[in-house]
């Protein structure tokens, strides 16, 4: 039973690290959501624009938190008209 619990704990520990983004990746995601919000608002899809704006704010919050943890400068808040940079090659 103990071996079963340790295996589960190990899987949980390693899976929690998968998918962690850096502050710059989170800021890029915020800019993408901002652009999606701008596009939706221009098309009169205000519900989608609102949802994308919320996602932009959440991603920016994540970017600020991670920038503080990483000791990097705090990224600027997204605003209408911001264009995301191209994705970084992996």
| pLDDT computed for residue 6 by the predictor | 54
pTM over 0.75: no
| pLDDT computed for residue 16 by the predictor | 42
- Helix axis angle, 46-70 relative to 23-42, nearest 10°? 170
Instruction: Give pLDDT tens digits for 8-47.
Output: 555 544 444 445 789 999 999 999 999 999 999 999 999 9
Instruction: Give pLDDT tens digits for 45-79.
Output: 999 999 999 999 999 999 999 999 999 999 999 99
Helix, strand, coil in percent for the chain, rounding step 5: 70, 0, 30
- In the chain, the number of structural domains is 1
State the residue range of the domain holding 44.
23-77
Question: 9 in a domain, yes or no?
Answer: no
DSSP letter at 83?
A: -
């Amino acid at each position: 039973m103990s071996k079963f619990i340790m295996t589960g704990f190990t899987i949980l520990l390693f899976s929690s690290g998968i998918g962690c983004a850096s502050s710059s990746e989170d800021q890029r995601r915020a800019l993408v959501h901002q652009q999606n919000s701008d596009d939706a608002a221009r098309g009169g899809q205000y519900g989608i624009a609102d949802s994308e704006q919320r996602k932009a704010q959440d991603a920016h919050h994540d970017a600020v938190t991670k920038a503080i943890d990483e000791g990097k400068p705090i990224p600027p808040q997204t605003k209408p008209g911001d264009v995301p940079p191209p994705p970084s090659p992996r």
